[in-house]
C-alpha cells in the first residue's frame, strides 16, 4: 500500500502496522510531533472512517492519502467548520425521535471526525481535555466526546436524542471558546496590544455582564445564563491566550517581573483561573446559589485586583514595541 501526505509519497516502509487504523494512528502521531495538523485521510478515494475501516488489513487497500495543514489558519478554518457542523447536527436532531440507518451512520462518522479534529487541536494548542469543563456543565471535554461517541449509534427514542443533544450543547460551548482562543494565537502585535487595551477599558462592562448571568440563573433562565457566562468567560480566555502570543511576539516580555504588593502576575492569573474553576464546580454540583455568588461577587472582585497587573503588562508591551 502506498501512503501519501499532501500528495507527496512517503518512502518509509510499513513494518509493524497491520491494519489501516494502526497506519492512521502512526501518521497522526508523526504529524502532531512535527507541529502540524491532520485535516483528513482518504483510502482508495473514500474518506477514512474509524468504525468501518480501522480494522481493515492494509493488504486490502492500495493507496492511503493524508492531508495535513502546516499553518495555524488551517486549524482555525477547521474549527469554524466544526462549529458549523455541530449546529447542523443539533438542528437535524431537534424534535426527532429516531434516525434513519443512513443518518445514523453519517452521524457516527461525523463524531469520529470531531474527535480526530479536536485531538489534533488539543495537541497543537497543548490542551488537556480531561481537565477542561465547559462552563454550564459538569462534564470534561473528554467525557463529552466519549458520551457522543458511545451514543451516536444508539439514538432510538426521544429520551436518547435529548440526552445526546445535551452533550452536543456542551460541546458547542467548548468549540466557541476554542475558536476564540485559537484565533488569538495568529494575531499580529498591534492587534494583541489593542485586545489588551480594549479589555482594560471593558472591565466595568464585563463585571456587569457577570451580574446579569447571576440574575438570569436566579430567574430560572438557565440557557440564557449559560450563554452569557460562556461569552464572558470566552473574553477572559482570549485575554489569557493573548499573553502567550505576546511572549512569542516580544521575546523580551517577562511576566515574572510584574509584581504589585508582593503579589506576582502569575499568582493573580492563577487566582482568576481558580475562581472560574470554582464556578464550574458549583454548576457541576447544581449549587446555583453558590455559583451565582461567585459569579456576581467574587469574579468582579478578582477582575478589579487583576486590572493593575494588566496596566503593567500594557506598559511593558508598549516599551518593548517601540
Residue 73's nearest CA partner among 212, 205, 187, 224 is 187
Q: Which three three-digit cell numbers place residue 163? A: 440526552
Asked if pLDDT for residue 138 goes beyond 80, the answer is no
Spelled out in words, what is the top-level CATH class assigned to the domain 187-321? mainly alpha
Q: Are 5 and 41 in contact (CB under 8 A)?
A: no
Question: How far is it, in rounded angstroms, from Cα 106 to Cα 90?
Answer: 14
pLDDT top residue among 90 and 7: 90
Among 132-141, 166-175, 218-227, the least confident range = 132-141
Question: How far is it, in rounded angstroms, from Cα 25 to Cα 23?
Answer: 5
Mean pLDDT of 269-287: 85
Give 84-116 pLDDT, tens digit per residue: 999 999 999 998 999 998 999 999 999 989 998
So what's the pLDDT on residue 311?
A: 92
So what's the pLDDT on residue 87?
A: 94
Dihedral sign computed on CA atoms, order 8, 12, 17, 18: positive
Mean pLDDT of 181-207: 85
Going by the DSSP 8-state scheme, the letter that residue 158 receives in this structure is H
Mean pLDDT of 160-186: 87
pLDDT band at 122 (very low <50, low <70, confident <90, very high): confident
pLDDT top residue among 138 and 292: 292
So what's the pLDDT on residue 1?
A: 85
Share of the chain above pLDDT 70, in %: 93
So what's the pLDDT on residue 165?
A: 93
Amino acid at each position: 500500500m502506498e501512503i501519501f501526505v499532501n500528495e507527496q509519497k512517503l518512502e518509509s516502509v510499513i513494518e509493524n502496522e497491520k491494519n489501516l487504523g494502526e497506519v492512521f494512528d502512526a501518521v497522526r502521531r508523526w504529524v502532531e510531533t512535527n507541529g502540524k495538523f491532520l485535516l483528513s485521510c482518504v483510502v482508495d478515494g473514500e474518506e477514512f472512517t474509524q468504525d468501518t475501516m480501522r480494522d481493515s488489513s492494509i493488504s486490502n487497500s492500495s493507496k492511503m492519502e493524508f492531508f495535513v495543514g502546516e499553518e495555524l489558519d488551517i486549524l482555525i478554518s477547521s474549527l469554524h467548520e466544526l462549529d458549523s457542523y455541530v449546529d447542523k447536527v443539533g438542528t437535524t436532531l431537534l424534535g426527532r425521535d429516531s434516525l434513519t440507518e443512513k443518518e445514523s451512520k453519517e452521524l457516527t462518522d461525523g463524531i469520529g471526525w470531531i474527535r480526530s479534529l479536536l485531538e489534533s487541536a488539543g495537541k497543537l494548542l497543548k490542551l488537556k481535555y480531561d481537565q477542561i469543563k465547559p462552563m454550564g456543565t459538569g462534564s470534561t471535554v473528554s467525557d463529552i466526546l466519549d458520551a457522543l461517541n458511545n451514543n451516536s449509534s444508539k439514538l432510538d427514542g426521544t429520551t436518547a436524542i435529548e440526552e445526546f443533544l445535551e452533550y452536543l450543547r456542551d460541546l458547542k460551548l467548548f468549540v466557541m471558546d476554542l475558536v476564540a482562543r485559537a484565533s488569538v494565537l495568529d494575531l499580529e502585535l498591534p492587534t494583541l496590544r489593542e485586545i489588551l487595551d480594549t479589555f482594560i477599558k471593558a472591565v466595568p462592562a464585563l463585571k456587569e455582564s457577570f451580574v446579569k448571568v447571576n440574575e438570569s440563573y436566579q430567574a430560572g433562565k438557565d440557557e440564557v445564563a449559560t450563554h452569557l457566562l460562556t461569552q464572558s468567560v470566552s473574553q477572559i480566555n482570549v485575554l489569557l491566550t493573548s499573553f502567550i502570543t505576546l511572549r512569542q511576539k516580544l521575546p523580551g516580555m517577562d511576566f515574572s517581573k510584574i509584581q504589585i504588593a508582593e503579589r506576582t502576575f502569575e499568582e493573580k492569573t492563577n487566582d482568576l483561573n481558580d475562581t472560574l474553576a470554582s464556578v464550574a464546580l458549583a454548576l457541576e454540583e447544581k449549587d446555583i446559589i453558590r455559583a451565582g455568588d461567585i459569579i456576581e461577587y467574587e469574579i468582579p472582585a478578582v477582575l478589579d485586583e487583576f486590572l493593575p497587573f494588566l496596566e503593567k503588562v500594557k506598559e511593558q508591551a508598549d516599551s518593548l514595541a517601540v
